[in-house]
Chain A
Amino acid sequence: MSAPDATPAAAPEAGAPLVVAEHLMKTFRLGHGEQLQALDDVSLTIRRGETFGLVGESGSGKSTVSRALLGLLPLDSGSVRFDGQEVTRLGRGEMRRLRRRMQMVFQDPFAALNRRQSVAQIVAAPLEAHGVGDRATRAARVAELLDLVGLGPAYRDRRPREMSGGQCQRVAIARALALDPDFVVLDESVSALDVSIQAQILNLLRDLQRRLGLTYLFISHDLAVIRYMAQTVCVMQHGRIVEQGSRDELFGDPRQEYTRGLMAAIPSADPATERHRRRSAALAEGVGA
């Protein structure tokens, strides 16, 4: 640790907490008077400039956590601080200003895009909403963003319905980057992409992070991708955080049975190994049941 006076107080320090969530609780109604504990005492700290990986089985609460962090979900209790500000208690104006600094790429790319708008309009929308630049600078920025995600000018006038799943996903990523945010939530954002485009986008995200000091919350079911991207990894199960640690800790020595199970289930791109792995997993499950 450096002495406190070594850095000027104003400059945000890399590694300082950016998003701090404490004791988040959320229940949803499940019908017949039953409730679902979607978040059960979730606490986490995301540091400036890092990629925080979130993994866990389908329905474990990953997307719900991310919505809570962005102030998009009314909580039963708990607190979320973004850069020192309590997100849950902000007025509309303050929230609007904060929104600019935090962006999200949603899990379902088709549903998240307005199907009546063209690609250029979709990517320009946040710029317009926040009154950034004039028409010409906005158009230039849109072109630059589309180029970044590997979509040439030919896609400018396409509508979401006229594009493939992976192309829609890249439009969503371009839109999220439009306002130069500090914090971006990427919820299964590269899952719909083929390996090569996925690699391009992951390289791009890491590059932007290095250049601009971006902070990511990265949700993915793909542990190989998580390992490559995240410095800190958090494992969720049934609305709770069951394990949290550095990449090396998690991948080198997972302590929880549950985490070890996830690791063992990573598919391999080799037909013989993969078939054998899946059959023995199925057998093991059959014996356990």
Chain B
Amino acid sequence: MTTETVLDVRDLCVSFGEIEPVRGVSFALRRGERLGLVGESGSGKSLTALAIMRLARRATLRGEVLLEGRDLLKLKPREMERIRGGRVAMVYQDPMSALNPVFTIGRQLEEAIRLHGIADRSAARERAIELLDDVGVPHPARRVEQYPHEFSGGMRQRVMIAMAMCADPAVLICDEPTTALDVTTQARIMDLLDRLVDERGTAVMLITHDLGVAAGFCDTVQVMYGGRIVERTEAEPLYGTPLHPYTEALLGAAVDLTLDLDQPIPTIGGQPPLAGRLPQGCSFHPRCRYARDVCTAQAPLLEEVAGRLVECHLADERAAAAKEDTHVGA
């Protein structure tokens, strides 16, 4: 077992003038690790990933992003270009803007392949067809000659995944890679990612709002809220006993097959905080059912509680109560 850290993000901040949607995010990713990043829409998941790739346009970045020891934030644009899609690759949330509409799918895949290894044109084409087949695109040999608009939404998503895998990266960031995919295709993609981790030791960071998908894939899950990581732990304890009240609310709001059809779906209530206009104290307090006076006055810090990281004033108390519960239950 290797525990070598491949990506080390330290106190990353992303801002646009006054607005700071990512406020001090730190985490490390080891070789062969499967890390999940979940959280509300607008909480800063994509921006965190784009900042790592140095693709957050017009943003000011602070902190460190160490990829195999090198700080990506200090690289010249030209150097970064070589690393992007090479040692670190990303599956973007919007496939259409990442694909060029005037080139065939095959040509775009080949280009990515040739950029990172295989120089021979026909070998690159063969590899492109193989990759399309891997992600489950039918008739790959015909399909390489088609243009992005001739693919269905889910197929374009899968082309993105094939493209990201071309270079055999050390770190693969997948931003909602299966959002619009049916469950069987989704399972196929997740199996493919599993294989990549097991066989190549790729470290994968999976951004998803689908808690089921995260549950099936990730060893560790971190939860983001209002531009900060508010809880990080192994998948099982996170789902079993969420310590942060936001994590708890998130798990409670999932739509599943047992929902009462005559009732509105439970929601967390209130609105997500607006970057730049964060509430005083804990940014979750206006929506938190456990909030106390201290929560409105003082921002909690990310602290280790019962073997996990939690950013909440009540973390200790809640951890103790959870422990009590399991004792009573046992």
**How many Å lie between the Cα of A256 and that of B58 in the bound state?**
51
Number of interface residues of B (CB under 8 A): 71
Interchain CB contact (< 8 A) of B187 among A110, A165, A200, A265 = A265
For this complex, 20 residue pairs linking A to B, each with C-beta atoms less than 8 Å apart, are A58-B136, A59-B137, A108-B156, A111-B97, A152-B271, A154-B274, A162-B16, A164-B46, A166-B42, A199-B266, A221-B183, A224-B256, A224-B257, A262-B183, A266-B257, A268-B215, A269-B239, A269-B251, A269-B256, A278-B187
Which A residues, 32 to 69, have Cβ-Cβ distances below 8 Å to chain B? 32, 34, 55-60, 63
B182 touches A55 (CB 8 A): yes
Question: What CA separation (Å) do A60 and B185 show in the bound complex?
Answer: 12
Q: Which residues of A contact B (CB under 8 A)?
A: 28, 30-32, 34, 55-60, 63, 107-111, 150, 152, 154, 161-167, 187-188, 191-200, 202-203, 206-207, 221-225, 227-228, 251, 261-262, 265-272, 274-275, 277-278, 281-282
Is B277 at the interface (CB under 8 A from chain A)? yes
Partner of A270 from the list B45, B96, B239 (CB cut-off 8 Å) is B239
Report the minimum CB–CB distance from A180 to chain B (whole Å): 22
| Residue from B57, B182, B211 in contact with A56 in the complex, judged by beta carbons closer than 8 Å | B182
User: Which residues from B are CB-within-8-Å of A281?
Assistant: 187
Pair B268/A196 contact, Cβ less than 8 Å: yes
How far does the alpha carbon of A183 sit from the alpha carbon of B111 in the complex, in Å? 43
Chain B positions 230 through 269: 1 when the CB is less than 8 Å from some CB of chain A, otherwise 0: 0000011001000000000111011111010100111110
Kindly provide the distance from the CB of B251 to the nearest chain A CB, expressed in whole angstroms.
7
The answer to whether A197 and B41 have CB atoms under 8 Å apart is: yes
**Residues of A contacting B215 in the complex (Cβ-Cβ under 8 angstroms):** 267-271, 274-275
Q: Tell me the smallest distance from the CB of A49 to a CB of chain B, in Å.
A: 16
Instruction: Determine if A59 and B274 form an interchain contact, defined as CB atoms under 8 angstroms apart.
Output: no
B216 touches A222 (CB 8 A): no
Stretch of B173-181, B293-301, B303-311 on the interface side = B173-181
**B152 at the binding interface (Cβ < 8 Å):** yes
Q: Is B216 in contact with A165, judged by CB distance below 8 angstroms? A: no
B128 smallest CB distance to A (angstroms) = 15
**Contact pattern, B 31-64, Cβ under 8 Å of A = 1, otherwise 0:** 0000000111110011100000000010000000
Q: Does B122 contact A (CB under 8 A)?
A: no
* A269 with B254, Cβ < 8 A, contacts A110-B96, A262-B182 known: yes
Tell me the minimal C-beta distance from B281 to chain A in angstroms: 20
Q: Known pairs A58-B158, A150-B271; list 16 more (Cβ under 8 Å).
A: A34-B139, A58-B153, A58-B181, A58-B185, A108-B94, A154-B274, A166-B209, A192-B93, A225-B255, A261-B184, A265-B186, A267-B187, A271-B215, A271-B235, A275-B216, A281-B187
Indicate if B190 sits at the interface (CB-CB under 8 A): yes
| Complex Cα–Cα for A63 and B278 (A) | 39
Contact A203 B264 (CB under 8 A): yes
Residue of A nearest to B158 (CB): A58
In the complex, A28 Cα to B213 Cα: how many Å?
33
CA distance A56 to B211 in the complex (A): 21
| Closest A residue by C-beta to B216 | A274
**Smallest distance from the beta carbon of A271 to chain B beta carbons, Å?**
4
Report A-chain residues with C-beta under 8 Å of the C-beta of B253: 195-196, 199
**What residues of chain A lie closer than 8 Å to B250, measured between beta carbons?**
194-196
- Measured in the bound complex, the distance between the Cα atoms of B187 and A57 in whole Å is 12
List the B side residues contacting A269 at CB < 8 Å: 211-212, 215, 239, 251, 254, 256
Known A167-B41, A192-B93, A199-B255; contact A223-B183, beta-carbon cutoff 8 A:
yes
Q: State whether the Cβ of B154 lies closer than 8 Å to any Cβ in chain A.
A: yes
Considering the complex, give the chain A residue whose CB is closest to the CB of B143. Answer: A30
| Contact indicator A194/B261 (Cβ below 8 Å) | no
List residues of chain B with CB within 8 A of the CB of A251.
257
Q: How far is the CA of A26 from the CA of B67 in the complex (A)?
A: 49
Complex interface: chain A residues within 8 A of B211 (CB): 195, 269
Q: Smallest CB-CB separation from A109: which chain B residue? A: B94
Residues on A with beta carbons closer than 8 Å to the beta carbon of B266: 199
Q: Which of A167, A207, A223, A271 contacts B236 (CB 8 A)?
A: A271
Q: Nearest CB to that of B38 among chain A residues?
A: A194
Query: Within 8 Å of chain A (Cβ to Cβ): is B150?
Result: yes
CB distance from B284 to the nearest CB of A (A): 12
Chain A positions within 8 Å of B182 at CB level: 55-58, 60, 221, 262
Known contacts A196-B250, A223-B183, A268-B215; is-contact A188 B41 (Cβ 8 Å):
no
| In the bound complex, CA of A63 to CA of B153 (Å) | 8
Cα–Cα, bound, A282→B187 (Å): 8
A195 touches B142 (CB 8 A): no
Q: How far is the CA of A196 from the CA of B269 in the complex (A)?
A: 8
Residues of chain B with a CB closer than 8 A to A58's CB: 136, 152-155, 158, 180-182, 185
Residue of B nearest to A163 (CB): B42
Smallest CB gap from B238: residue in A:
A271
**Chain B nearest Cβ from A248, distance in angstroms:** 10
CB closest chain-B residue, reference A32: B142
Q: Shortest 3 CB-CB distances between A and B: which pairs? A: A166-B41, A58-B154, A267-B212
Assembly CA distance A202 to B261 (angstroms): 12
Query: Would you call B191 an interface residue if the criterion is a C-beta within 8 Å of the partner chain's C-beta atoms?
Result: yes
Shortest Cβ distance from B216 into chain A, in angstroms? 4
Q: How far is the CA of A221 from the CA of B210 in the complex (A)?
A: 12
Most B C-beta atoms less than 10 A away, residue of A261, A265, A277: A265
A273 nearest CB neighbor, chain B only? B215
Q: Are B209 and A59 in contact (CB under 8 A)?
A: no
Our pick among B180, B212, B235 for the contact of A188 (Cβ within 8 Å) is B180
Q: How far is the CA of A188 from the CA of B210 in the complex (A)?
A: 14
